């Protein structure tokens, strides 16, 4: 794991697009089925749009039908952090980038992989790097 990236609010606003800022820094979400990576099937790696931290490999991506890119696992367990989120009147587990603490999405216990997890991630929180 690389060193933490801590920036001021002004530095984040300069670095990110308005949509990326809303998702990563304000824990926002994009509308279902509107994200750039929701149906992308290319081979590569998904990086944090805020800091470039490697988050998910394309081989762990699958179509969950939820409207957001879904993955069975992160690149490594120390690349993301999980926090209990009780906003919006429900109990969920929020997923953040371990390097910059940017909001990525949520993880649910209904995935098809060996661990049974579905990482439901906003496209706006990521950038894709083809192999």
- Which pLDDT tens digit goes with each residue over 49-58? 999 999 999 9
Select the more confidently predicted residue: 12 or 113.
12
Residue 46 in domain: yes
Catalytic one among 48, 51, 97, 120? Answer: 120
> Rounded to whole angstroms, how far apart are CA atoms 39 and 127?
14
- pLDDT at residue 44, as a whole number: 98
120 is catalytic: yes
- pLDDT at residue 6, as a whole number: 94
Domain count for the chain, please give it: 1
pTM summary value: 0.93
Over residues 60-95, the pLDDT tens digits come to 999 999 999 999 999 999 999 999 876 766 678 999
8 Cβ neighbours under 8 A, 6+ residues apart: none
Residue 51 in domain: yes
Residues spanned by the domain of 52: 9-130
Residue 2 in domain: no
Residue 4 in domain: no
Residue 77 in domain: yes
- pLDDT at residue 85, as a whole number: 72
CATH number at residue 109: 2.170.150.20
Q: What secondary structure does DSSP assign to 89-117, as a single string?
A: GS-EEEEEETTT--EEEEEES--SSTT--
Residue 45 in domain: yes
> Rounded to whole angstroms, how far apart are CA atoms 48 and 45?
10
């Amino acid at each position: 794991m690389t060193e933490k990236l801590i920036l001021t609010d002004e530095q984040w606003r300069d670095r990110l697009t308005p949509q990326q800022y809303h998702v990563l820094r304000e824990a926002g979400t994009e509308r279902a089925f509107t994200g750039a990576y929701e149906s992308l099937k290319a081979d590569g790696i998904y990086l944090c749009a805020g800091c470039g931290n490697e988050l998910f490999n394309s081989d762990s991506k699958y179509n969950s039908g939820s409207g957001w890119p879904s993955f069975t696992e992160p690149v490594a367990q120390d690349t993301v952090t999980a926090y209990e989120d009780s906003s919006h009147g429900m109990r969920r587990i929020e997923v953040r980038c371990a390097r910059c603490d940017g909001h990525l999405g949520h993880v649910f216990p209904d995935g098809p992989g060996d661990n049974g997890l579905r990482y439901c991630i906003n496209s706006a929180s990521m950038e894709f790097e083809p192999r």
